[in-house]
Structure 1
Amino acid sequence: MRMRIGLVAVVMGCAGLGVAGAAVAQDAARARTAGLDRPVWRVFEDRAGTRVDVPAGIFTEAVGPAPRGDGVELRSADGRARLMVYVEENDEAFTPARFVRTNLKVPAGALDYRRVTDRFFAVSGVNDDEIFYSRCNFPARAAGRMHCIYVAYPRAEEKAWDDIVTRISLSLRGSRS
């Protein structure tokens, strides 16, 4: 199920560039994920109590449920970037460190960033020329729901995404139960 959750208009002013110049400008525009220049921030909330700032100007397509936990997967209009916001039960009462050890799908050496505390974990790395960033906030009790995000985008756009991913990550909140 695809649903528009925001509108992004990209207008290229190519007057005076000629046909070849216009084609080069259009190729350059396509080389960046749609909406990066206009994130249009909105607060996303779900029934589980998750709250997170989402750049609705980038993630304009709701493509269905998240492949993990209970949540939603969003994509950019051009399909180059995706964001998952979801909750996952912590029935086994994993600590953030144990959860990362048990569930990491890439070799630990593939991680460029790893921060694990008693309340959350955040990991980032490169997989198939795509940068991924994953964070889960853990419940106050040993068991309960973890509130999570997962962001993936082209490696070539790393600098353009740094502030965006930081805002998404730092805004992630959820009920502590």
Structure 2
Amino acid sequence: MRLGIIAAVACTVAFAGTPALSQERTAGLDRPGWSVFADRAGTRVDYPAGIFTEEVGPARRGEGVELRSADGRARLMVYVEPNQENFTPERFVRTNLKVSARDIDYRRITDRFFAVSGVNQGEIFYSRCNFPGRAAGPMHCIYVAYPQSEERAWDDIVTRISLSLRVSRN
């Protein structure tokens, strides 16, 4: 089962230049070591700290952070993006999706979130944005990219990350 979302729809391009994939497994994949990421905007998400051990810097979209595995084979962004246009999840995807529809394997859109996933240059990408205020207020998002050859090993990991994304009420 592949989940998918591209809240960070444009991130597919942003993550170009990934190291060449080999038959090796992503560092930490067998021992994910779960932790909770939380930021000042109230974003909370379970993430495998045993895999995403290196902070690359600020997220390439919105306000947040980009993490990667020690071997650079997998990446995670957690970020908050303003929604000044008051996009609904459906309108955001329709307006901002930068990936061809044929590259999207999974697409789910509700009135509270969107999720998209697909394959690009040997990597699976998954993007999800929650819209806690519906079309009013910021979007709280995650973006995950990992080797396509490891799809089955990542299924449960990506599911947990995605389903845990929430906004705490301060």
TM-score above 0.5: yes
Q: Shift of residue 176 of structure 1?
A: 7.0
Matches within 5 A, 1:138-149: 138-149=131-142
Q: Quick check: 1:92 aligned with 2:85?
A: yes
Q: Shift of residue 94 of structure 1?
A: 0.5
The amino acid that maps onto 1:84 is M
Q: Shift of residue 110 of structure 1?
A: 0.9
Q: CA offsets, 1:41-67, max 9 Å, x none?
A: 001000110000010000000010000
Cα separation, 2, equivalents of 1:110 and 1:98: 19
1:166 corresponds to which residue?
159
Task: Looking at secondary structure, tell me which structure has more helix per residue.
Answer: 1
| TM-score, reference length from structure 1 | 0.81
Matches within 5 A, 1:76-155: 76-155=69-148
Cα separation, 1, equivalents of 2:72 and 2:124: 14
CA RMSD of aligned residues (A): 1.6
Cα separation, 2, equivalents of 1:56 and 1:176: 24
Q: Shift of residue 108 of structure 1?
A: 1.4
Mapped contact 2:88–2:134 kept (Cα < 8 A):
no
Q: How many residues align?
A: 149
Structure 1: 5+ residue stretches without partners:
1-28
| TM-score, reference length from structure 2 | 0.84
2:62 corresponds to which residue?
69
2:15 corresponds to which residue?
none
1:49 corresponds to which residue?
42
Cα separation, 2, equivalents of 1:143 and 1:152: 28
CA radius of gyration, larger in: 1
Matches within 5 A, 1:2-41: 31-41=24-34
Cα separation, 2, equivalents of 1:38 and 1:139: 32
Structure 2: 5+ residue stretches without partners:
1-21
- Runs ≥4 residues deviating over 4 A: none
Q: Shift of residue 140 of structure 1?
A: 1.9
Q: CA offsets, 1:78-127, max 9 Å, x none?
A: 00000000000111010101101111111112100000000000000001
Going from structure 1 to structure 2, the CA distance change for 1:68 and 1:101 (only over 3 Å counts) comes to same
Cα separation, 1, equivalents of 2:52 and 2:23: 16
Mapped contact 1:138–1:176 kept (Cα < 8 A):
no
Q: Sequence identity, in percent?
A: 81
Going from structure 1 to structure 2, the CA distance change for 1:49 and 1:84 (only over 3 Å counts) comes to same
The amino acid that maps onto 2:121 is D
